[in-house]
Each structure stands twice: as C-alpha cells, then as structure tokens.
Amino acid sequence: MRAKRVLALVAMCTVSLNALLAQGQSISSPLVVPAKTDQAAGPASGRSGSSISISLTSSAERATERPSSGSVLGALMLCGGGPLPETLLQTFFELGQSTQGSLVIIPSASVAADLGDYEPAVAPWRRYPWASVQILHANDRQQIENDTEFLKPLQQATAVWISGGDQRRLAERYLGTPVEHELKGIVKRGGIIGGTSAGSAIASRVMISGGRQQPVIASGLDLLPGAIIDQHFSQRQRYERLASAVQQHPDRVGIGIDESTGLVVNKREARVLGSGSVYIYPRTLETEQKHEPLKFDAGSAFDLPEFVSRQD
C-alpha cells in the first residue's frame, strides 16, 4: 500500500560541574566519561564534547515514572518541528528502553552547540529518567577522525535524539563518517533514532537542504532509505517543494511532517502521533508526474513497504 570520552564537542569541550549545576542539572555520581514561506496547492483528501552522565530528574520523580514498555526491534521517530507534545516524548522514551535506556543527544544542527550551549536540545528530556544521557557534538569532521573515544556513546546507546537547526550542519560533520554507520547500527540492534525539524530532514539520503517552492537537494544520512523528508510542512506550505523533489527523484517517496507531529517507523509500519498530519507523496516512476499527497492524521497507522528493501 502506498502511503517517515570528555565527548561531544567530544574533544572537545569540558563542561564544568558548577556550570551544569547552575543550569539546574544534577550530575550522577560518579561522573562518567563515556559515555522559511512556500506557496502551493494543498493535499488531496486522504485518510484521516561533553560526555557526562546527567540525571535529568530527581529520585522522587523517577519513582513515579511509568515502567518501560520493553525493547523493540529498531525504530525511527521523525518529527516536524515546533513544540513536541507529551505523547511524542513519552513514546520515544519508552521505545528507547525508558529507565534502562542510554540516550545520546546530538545538538550539532544548532550554531549554539559550537558555543557549548546544549540547553535547547536537552530541555525536552529533563523530566525523563534515562539511565544515562550524553551529548555528542563535533565542531568538524577531524574531531571524529582523531578522537578514538568519540563513537563510544553511540556504541552503547539505546536511543539517539537529533535536535533542530540546519540540516546542512549535520551533513557537513557526520555524512560518510563512522557516526553515520553507528547510527544505522543502533536501529539494527533494536534502538531508536529520533529527530525534529533538521533532525528529521537529515534522515533521508536525498535531503532537502533549502529552497521555497523548488527544493535545494543535498545528501543526508540515509536512515530511512527510499524517502525524502520535509518538515514544518503545512505550516510553511511546503507541498510544492516536496512534490518537486519527488518528481526530480521519482524512485523516492516524499514524507511531509507537520509541526508538533511525529512519524514513528518500525519495520513496515508507520504511525502518526501528535496534533498534525503526515503527507505521503507516492513514487512517480509510473507517470513521471507530480502526485497529490495522501494525508494521514494523528492516530493513523499505515504500511511502508516501499522503504523495506531499498538500499542506496
């Protein structure tokens, strides 16, 4: 059926204990070293451096958290930007093995990360009692090549969250590096990778890096083979942009994701969570023409057979 070691700056950046405490973070004992506005036609109607273990919650908060829902066989959560509803955060937490899980946050899409400011990326996860939380950030590709400890957090992670900003910054640092390999390995061993805004756009090999009605195409990480992903979708009227990208790459399926909305992909199944919709642009191999998208509202689940066997 047709139908989404000190470490990061990892060499990178020493975060002082006092600074972390000033930001309201409690540090686990002992410390651990690893570890823009488009216009187009709308859709057709469809179916409705631093590597420090951080405790983001108090002991009392941990005691009241729901138990883990159990391990799963690999998943992706692709979010469209904007405020993330509780249902998305909780689902990611559970799929990442919840209180037994090791979360790695990659804030590199944001310029603030180069200055050591990871707060925007960390903030959504403060209420969730992960077993460990680490930041992974490289200022450039050389840091990945020169630091033998850089990949350790990814090798131990059950969940990775890629925060928003500019997807080109992510590609510049991580495309074609061992980081890309390790990210794919996390999904293969049953973990989850999630991202929002730029953190979702980077998930497809054919990556939209900019443009208004006509997309600017670059290369992403190929976490979801066979797809092209766009975000802030209906809010920024990106219908034409994604349709054009699919027309230019007719062997790909377009996935447009609204703000405050996530697409959870697990094997063949995809589920829409949040408050918006996901738009699927089928492949155009047969007609070489633009298709109207299929619209899936929150609560929908559908099959993604196109993504299962394709490899670049």
pLDDT tens digits, one per residue of 163-208: 999 999 999 999 999 999 999 999 999 999 999 999 999 999 999 9
**Distance (Å, whole) CA 162 – CA 198:** 8
Q: Are strands 102-106 and 159-162 parallel, antiparallel or unpaired?
A: parallel
Residue carrying structure tokens 């061993």: 189
Q: What percent of the chain has pLDDT over 70?
A: 72
- Alpha-carbon distances, residue 68 vs 77, 79, 153, 156, 169 (angstroms): 18, 22, 21, 18, 34
**Distance (Å, whole) CA 162 – CA 154:** 12
What is the per-residue DSSP string for 123-164? Answer: GGGTTS--SEEEE---SSHHHHHH-TTTTHHHHH-SEEEE--
Look at residue 303 in the predicted model and tell me its pLDDT.
Answer: 85
Q: Radius of gyration over alpha carbons of the chain, in Å?
A: 19
Q: Which of 128, 111, 129 is nearest to 120 (CA)?
A: 111
Q: Is pLDDT of 259 > 60?
A: yes
Helices (H) and strands (E) in the chain, counts: 10, 16
- Alpha-carbon distances, residue 114 vs 9, 38, 84, 231 (angstroms): 8, 30, 24, 24
Structure tokens belonging to residue 51: 């590597």
Look at residue 4 in the predicted model and tell me its pLDDT.
Answer: 36
**CA triplet 138, 73, 179: central angle to 5 degrees?**
15
Q: Is pLDDT of 49 > 50?
A: no
Look at residue 186 in the predicted model and tell me its pLDDT.
Answer: 96
Question: In terms of pLDDT, which residue wins out, 37 or 220?
Answer: 220
Look at residue 284 in the predicted model and tell me its pLDDT.
Answer: 73
Q: Which amino acid is present at 206? A: V
pLDDT tens digits, one per residue of 204-251: 999 999 998 899 999 999 999 889 999 999 999 999 999 999 999 998
Fold exhibited by the domain 17-35+49-56+71-307: Rossmann fold (3.40.50)
pLDDT tens digits, one per residue of 294-308: 999 999 998 875 433
Q: Are strands 75-79 and 192-196 parallel, antiparallel or unpaired?
A: parallel
**pTM of the complete model:** 0.76
Q: How many CA atoms lie less than 13 Å away from 54 in the CB half-sphere?
A: 27
Look at residue 128 in the predicted model and tell me its pLDDT.
Answer: 97
Mean pLDDT over 147-167 rounds to 96
- Residue 14 phi, psi dihedral angles, 5° rounding: -100, 120
Mean pLDDT over 32-42 rounds to 35
Q: Which of 266, 287, 289, 272 is nearest to 75 (CA)?
A: 266
Q: Are strands 227-231 and 253-257 parallel, antiparallel or unpaired?
A: parallel
Mean pLDDT over 62-75 rounds to 40
Q: Hey, where are the domains in the chain?
A: 17-35+49-56+71-307
Q: Is pLDDT of 20 > 60?
A: no
At 282, the pLDDT band (50, 70, 90 cuts) reads confident
